[in-house]
Amino acid sequence: MPDLFDPIELRGLKLPNRIIISPMCQYSAVDGNATSWHTAHLSSQALGGAGLLCLEATAVTAEGRITPGCLGLWNEANAAALAEVVNVLRASSPIKLAIQLAHAGRKASSAAPWDGGQLIAPENGGWLPRAPSALPHKDGEPPPLAMSADDLARTARAFVEAARRAVRLGFDAIELHAAHGYLLHQFLSPISNHRADEYGGSLENRMRFPLEVFQAVRAALPERMPLGVRVSATDWVDDEPSWTPEQTVAFGLRLKELGADWIDVSSGGVSPKQQIPVGPGYQVPLAELLKREVGLPTIAVGLITAAQQAQQIVAEGKADMVALARAALYDPRWAWHAAAELDRQVDGPPQYWRSLPSGKNRVFGDTSFGMR
């Protein structure tokens, strides 16, 4: 059976283990530009021995930011600022790097979580979001602008242009964000998509724009560069038509046909009415369903915190990889500690070799490494 510390190949990218550092929004950019905080935060995660580090949801347009502090890649200034961070990561760690490209849709122009997370009006420094339909995310909010055909074409081009910048920056992989109630998920879900044109109504129509974006980005990437998609496998809303696991399987099969390299399986986010049964590994069954029914490599996420828990998910074939967020923030050396607990080995920079764990007794690795 596969092991958490077995390598895995995603198209032309070989990862040394199946531990992924999940995209985690930091709300600390300035005009979309990465700052010193990103260097500090990502450096701490890059040195922990995971197989892949995926940068936070990165907006492909200024209007597509969740908050005014969200990272962006819609212009060359954004790319130049991010290049400085990437250069530090490349100089200090062998970890592979991915970036998640996103557009927030109707959830854009929000305050940072520590400032309440609510919609910011244009007169208070926000902007008017664009979405599939003129339906607000929450009752009492002003509606977003329904996207025109020109808006759709412009947004698809923005995804492609951001992907090309990511290639030039030297990222190893790209993930498209089609989850958590953001734009691509908004098109998929009948809760947020009430369009009457070819992009709304039937499942085929609701999938059309996300699939067009995927196909355009895939065509813009080098052949050997992997491209994955994060999905919300269910809206967790039962009292109205919503996005379901069965529809996610249909979407996954289409992505597979178009050349997707993995599915990152999350859930929820499109409606305040969601009822989520939160608990350890609560989304793992959704990843298991997608792995079984679609056949693409899958990433399981959601309150995966313990080494034995992660190992069991992979060894039992419930998912091919596990992604950590809160657990990695709490313990940036999570992979080291998991390797020690599971009697495995993990890579790290040579400057840290003396402290790398080896064996169940947590014996430090190369005790002969040192000064005369």
Core vs surface per residue 304-319: b (16+ CB within 10 A) or e: beebebbbebbeeebb
Q: At residue 132, what is the residue type?
A: P
H-type alpha helices, 170-272: 183-188, 203-220, 245-257
H-type alpha helices, 57-175: 76-92, 149-169
330 in catalytic set: no
Q: How far is CA 356 from CA 328, 339, 341, in A?
A: 17, 9, 13
Helix axes 245-257, 284-294, angle to 10 degrees: 50
d(CA 270, CA 28): 24
Catalytic residue among 182, 199, 282, 352: 182
Q: Token match 């069991």: residue?
A: 312
Decide if 228 contacts 266 (C-beta within 8 A): no
Catalytic residues: 182
